[in-house]
Amino acid sequence: MPNNTRTRLIAGNWKMNKNYTEGVQLAQDLANELGHDTHGVEVVVCPPATDLKGVSGVIEFDRAPFGLGAQNVYWEASGAFTGELSCDMLKSVGCTHCIVGHSERRDYFGETDGDINLKVKALLAAGIVPISCCGESLEVREAGNQVDFVVGQIRADFDGVQLESGDQLVVAYEPIWAIGTGKTATPEDAQEVCGAIRAALVDIFGADIASQIRVLYGGSAKPGNVAGFLAEEDVDGALVGGASLVAADFAAMVERAAE
């Protein structure tokens, strides 16, 4: 049975798609699709860095019913870190959330659990909610080691992290083999790992805070399958890739989450 005590969250990761003009248009289209009522579902969109200010303007001036997230951050406050963005820079354009530890950042750009740990701590100190990603490769899944692998990531990513409440942090479980491949984990697959994530969060943060942390499913989630994932006890929403680039599809997923 789904959990009714945590507010569901549907987050869109636009990845490296949509230039500034296209990003503003997509945000406006999404605002029109959603109207001004998401029926209790929290919605966040995470555009490329060049689009953040434009999407922030849509949220402000169109009173769009979604929050703004970034796709990456650096943990230092300022300095000679060419190409990076600080927490203060993200806050200055209205970001309330930030994705960290996405499998593409880990695989393509060599980010480690140690890097993600520093980013999570920096975001929390700045009052930005990390959407911290974890997940296993096909090789790990086929070996049957997915639970141990993901729990190991969780423990490393949150080592020394302190929370005052569970709404300061979001975890996104994304089986790497299901991202952009057309393959999708079953709801039961997702629940197995998300339940293990929840148990690890209890060990790290205590039962009260762990019960408040939203755990999302990410990996080829779309309007036709999201309801199945949301029916599971420890799945509180979705981190959406490709479907977030089509306003009608993303809005439909928000509607499914509101049911």
User: Would you name the residues annotated as active-site residues?
Assistant: 102, 174
Helix (H, G, I), strand (E, B) or coil at 154: helix
CA dihedral (53, 55, 56, 60) positive or negative: positive
DSSP states of 199-250 as a string? HHHHHHH-HHHHTTSEEEEESS--TTTHHHHHTSTT--EEEESGGGGSHHHH
Number of H helices, E strands in the chain: 11, 8
Give the residue among 52, 111, 122 at the shortest CA–CA distance from 88: 122
Instruction: For residues 10 and 27, give the distance between their C-alpha atoms in angstroms, rounded to a whole number.
Output: 15
d(CA 6, CA 235): 10
Report how far residue 196's alpha carbon sits from residue 183's, in angstroms, rounded to the nearest whole number.
Answer: 22
